[in-house]
Every structure is written in structure tokens, then in C-alpha cells.
């Protein structure tokens, strides 16, 4: 479907009582499946065993497809990390699946990364000049190699991770496993989420709090922007050195609009409540006379509920979603992706026939998906379809791990709202006003660059750097 794709999800756990954590990683990754459905993997180790004895498995596919029971039975350890992936850098091939596992002079290192760097080229060339050979096309491997290189010259792995993080420009939520420690790092802007939980004597790091719940862990707190957490036999240690490297915070607004799971709490904001507030803001900004408010499953439903509560127009379901249809975004052609919409969603004719419909969704990227849905509703007998979008128009690409395409593929970058309304066949169209976003997300400082072009760092300067390979 022509829509924004999920980011990645990371998970890490260290059981200080020595219990096996393999199944917990599986359940944690399953609860983060919405963040990445392209590839997944896990790595585990026994902290009481020989250094460097890491068991790992990763491949393309869903968690249930890759981490099968017979595979998990061969793996055990009291410390481990996992990853679900949707690629924003690097091709969709098995080699790019995570976690990345390295064996080097200091033992072993496993790393899982959510986010995207803007200075990958500079960092990679620095490694290539010293003889590094890369096996993937991801920026995550660049991070892992820098940590390994720093570790050779430092007294502990935390120092190596910190030295590496100082070089990184962009967005990252990292979980790193060394032979005896579990480390979590969040970028100083807070662009990517990361939280800490505890179950008995086991500590858990995860992209979202819903993953903590899935393994019976209690949410302790969010990792602060620029914070590094180290979990070892000595307990939990926090380092805030990175936090002072930037003067602003810029939490990704799309976590609250779309990415995060409804039952997650992120930086003190309940995701469900944020989306309800977004829908209420839409109703205030773009009221309309209608008979039914409905949402595009699943992402538009909470905002539609908020629109209904504010407007007084009844909320109801207009679509049935077939949850057993394959992932439409892996269809090879745009035409096949568009036809898959009809397989995945069908209209409930009796719910829409003869009615004026308010249709709420989280975003419009190319406009093809929403246009198909409007045609389906009108074919089923809807008299009018008024579209309301719980985000502002996409005008700029994202460089931090959200799959917002280039400007020429963004319908709003070349067309006005009125033109888009006519192109998609809607009777009216209203986008979320940018001024409402902070209130929706609990008044957090936000990154809204995909809407307003104001990036929290100098992205263009880094991307435009010319790297002289000496050829």
C-alpha cells in the first residue's frame, strides 16, 4: 500500500538470576512486529560461559516465520537482544537483517539499531581506509564496527560505545550486547524511542512499553535523550554525557501519529490518548455535516474516534480488514499493490449506503490508497466522502529512519489541498494543522521536518559531503 512504512524495533534483556531469555526475546519482538515486518532476528549468550559464545539467528520474514520453535530450542542464554526490521537504508536482503554479531580481539559484540544516520558515508569511509570489509549495506554495521574499533583502545565497552556515539549524527535507539553487559543508547535529540523495564531480577530494554508488557515486565521509565544505560551484574548504571551535545530535543512526531502501538506509553504520553486528541483537533479545524465517522484500519481508527467525540457525529466501522492477507508492500509493482487494497479491505455496504461519510486516516503519501478507498465507499452507496488526515501534508523527505519518499513522490509537494481533494475523488479534504501537533503529543518538543522542512540538525551539509576515495 502506498503509505508510510514502519521503522524498526529493538529489544534486549539480561536476567541476573541466570534464567534463559530466548523466549522472552521472541515474545518481545512479536509485540514489536508492527515496527518492522521485513526481517527479524535474535542473539543470545551465557554470561557465565566462555566469552564470545553467541548464538544467533536472523532472516527475512515475520517473527513467527523466522524464529521457529525448532530454531529457538537450539538457543539459550541469560542475556540477549533482538530486532525487527523495515529497511530505510540497505537493501531488503537477509544479509541486512539484525542483530549484527561481531567476533573480534576483545570477544564478541551484538548490536541492534532503530533509526538512520546522516553521516554514514563519512563514518564508513573512515573504516574503509583502515581496511574494514563490509558484509551489509546498513548504517548499523558501521556503528558496530566503530564500537569494536574503539573497544580495542578503551578500558571497557561502555567507553567504546560512548566514543562511537559522539561521532553519530542522526537518529538511533541502540541495544548492544557484550559478553557480560547489556547497553542501551538513545540519540541526544530523542528522535527514536527506548525504554527500560524490570521483571523479577531481569532488566529489559525495548523500543516501546508494549514489549515490556508482553514479557511481564514492569515499565520503569523512558531512556532519556542522550542517555546510555549499562546493565551488568552490578545493576543499572546511567551516563548522560551525550545529552549535553545538543541544545534541543526533537521527538519523532510520527510515533504518536502512526508508528507506536496503541497500548504503548512513550515519553510520558499515552499513544491512544494522543491520537484521540489529534482527531478532536481535526473536528475543530474542519467540521462538516455528516452521518458517520470512520477510520482507515487500523491507523485511522483512534483519530476517527476523537473526531466523532468532538463533532458529535456517530462513530462506526465502514471496512472489514482481512488480517490473513500477505503484506501488501512487498508486491513487486504499484499496480499489484493497489489491487491488494481490495483483498485486504472490503466495505461494509449496509454501514455506508445512503450516508455522508467522514473518512479519517493518518497520512496521504502518494494518494493512491485513499483514492481507492473513496471509490470503494462510493461504489457501496456512500453519498459523500469527506477525508480528514491526522497529520499535516508531507512536503519533505525524512532522513532519520521513517520511510517518507523523495519529494517527487509526495503528492502534497506538487499539489494544493484542493487539487489533491479532486485527484482522490473526495468531497472535501482537511489536514491536521501543524500548530496542533505539540498539544496532541503532550507538548513534547517534536521533529516535524517531514512537514515543515526544519530538521533538528544540518542534514544537507552532511549528505552533500564529497568523500574522496582516491581513485
What is the set of active-site residues?
Answer: 8
C-alpha cell at 415: 499539489
Question: What phi and psi values does residue 169 have, to the nearest 5 degrees?
Answer: -120, 120
The residue whose grid cell reads 558501521 is 142
**Exposed/middle/buried for residue 464 (C-beta within 10 Å: 0-12, 13-18, 19+):** exposed
Three-class SS of 9-60: EEEEEEECCCCCCHHHHHHHHHHCHHHCCCEEEEEEECCCCCCCCEEEEEEE
Q: How far apart are CA 279 and CA 218, in angstroms?
A: 30
Q: How far apart are CA 90 and CA 222, in angstroms?
A: 29
Q: How far apart are CA 440 and CA 251, in angstroms?
A: 13
C-alpha cell at 21: 531469555
Q: How far apart are CA 130 and CA 142, in angstroms?
A: 13
Cα separations (Å) of 224 from 248, 437, 438, 463?
13, 21, 19, 27
Pairing of strands 79-85, 170-177: unpaired
In this structure, the dihedral spanned by the alpha carbons of residues 374, 375, 377 and 383, taken in order and rounded to 10 degrees, is 90
**Enclosing H/E stretch for 174:** strand 170-177
The beta-strand segments (E) located in 325-445 are 345-347, 356-361, 384-389, 428-431
Using alpha carbons only, what angle is made at residue 32 by residues 370 and 237, rounded to the nearest 5 degrees? 135
Q: How far apart are CA 3 and CA 367, in angstroms?
A: 9
Nearest Cα to Cα of residue 91 among 129, 141, 33: 141
Amino acid at each position: 500500500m502506498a503509505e508510510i512504512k514502519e521503522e524498526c524495533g529493538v529489544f534486549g534483556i539480561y536476567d541476573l538470576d541466570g534464567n534463559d531469555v530466548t523466549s522472552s526475546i521472541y515474545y518481545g519482538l512479536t509485540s514489536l512486529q508492527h515496527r518492522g515486518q521485513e526481517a527479524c532476528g535474535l542473539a543470545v549468550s551465557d554470561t557465565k560461559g566462555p566469552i564470545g559464545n553467541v548464538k544467533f539467528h536472523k532472516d527475512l520474514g515475520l517473527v513467527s516465520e523466522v524464529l521457529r520453535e525448532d530454531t529457538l530450542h537450539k538457543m539459550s542464554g541469560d542475556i540477549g537482544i533482538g530486532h525487527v526490521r523495515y529497511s530505510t537504508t540497505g537493501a531488503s536482503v537477509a544479509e541486512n537483517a539484525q542483530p549484527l554479531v561481531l567476533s573480534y580481539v576483545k570477544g564478541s559484540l551484538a548490536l541492534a539499531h532503530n533509526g538512520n544516520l546522516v553521516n554514514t558515508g563519512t563514518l564508513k569511509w573512515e573504516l574503509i581506509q583502515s581496511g574494514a570489509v563490509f558484509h551489509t549495506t546498513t548504517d548499523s554495521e558501521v556503528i558496530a564496527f566503530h564500537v569494536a574499533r574503539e573497544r580495542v583502545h578503551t578500558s571497557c565497552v561502555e567507553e567504546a560505545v560512548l566514543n562511537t556515539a559522539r561521532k553519530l549524527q542522526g537518529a538511533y535507539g541502540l541495544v548492544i550486547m557484550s559478553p557480560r553487559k547489556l547497553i542501551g543508547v538513545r540519540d541526544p535529540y530523542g528522535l527514536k524511542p527506548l525504554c527500560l523495564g524490570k521483571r523479577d531480577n531481569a532488566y529489559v530494554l525495548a523500543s516501546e512499553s508494549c514489549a515490556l508488557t508482553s514479557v511481564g515486565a514492569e515499565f520503569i521509565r523512558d531512556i532519556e535523550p542522550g542517555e546510555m544505560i549499562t546493565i551488568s551484574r552490578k545493576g543499572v548504571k546511567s551516563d548522560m554525557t551525550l545529552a549535553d551535545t545538543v541544545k534541543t530535543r526533537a521527538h519523532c512526531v510520527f510515533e504518536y501519529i502512526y508508528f507506536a502501538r496503541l497500548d504503548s506509553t512513550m515519553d510520558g504520553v499515552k499513544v491512544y490518548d494522543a491520537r484521540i486528541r489529534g482527531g478532536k483537533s481535526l473536528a475543530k479545524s474542519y467540521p462538516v455535516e455528516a452521518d458517520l465517522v470512520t477510520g482507515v484500519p487500523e491507523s485511522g481508527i483512534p483519530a476517527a474516534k476523537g473526531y466523532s467525540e468532538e463533532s458529535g457525529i456517530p462513530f462506526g466501522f465502514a471496512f472489514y480488514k482481512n488480517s490473513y492477507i500477505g503484506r501488501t508492500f512487498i508486491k513487486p509493482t504499484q499496480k499489484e499493490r493497489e489491487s491488494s487494497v481490495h483483498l485486504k479491505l472490503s466495505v461494509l455496504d449496509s454501514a455506508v449506503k445512503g450516508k455522508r461519510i467522514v473518512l479519517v486516516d493518518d497520512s496521504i503519501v502518494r494518494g493512491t490508497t485513499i483514492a481507492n478507498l473513496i471509490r470503494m465507499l462510493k461504489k457501496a452507496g456512500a453519498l459523500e466522502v469527506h477525508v480528514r488526515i491526522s497529520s499535516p501534508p508531507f512536503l519533505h523527505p525524512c532522513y532519520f529512519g521513517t520511510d517518507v519518499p523523495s519529494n517527487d513522490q509526495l503528492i502534497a509537494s506538487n499539489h494544493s489541498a484542493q487539487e489533491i481533494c479532486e485527484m482522490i475523488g473526495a468531497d472535501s479534504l482537511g489536514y491536521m494543522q501543524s500548530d496542533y501537533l505539540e498539544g496532541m503529543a503532550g507538548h513534547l518538543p517534536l521533529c516535524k521536518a517531514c512537514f515543515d522542512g526544519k530538521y533538528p540538525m544540518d542534514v544537507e551539509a552532511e549528505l552533500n559531503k564529497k568523500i574522496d576515495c582516491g581513485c
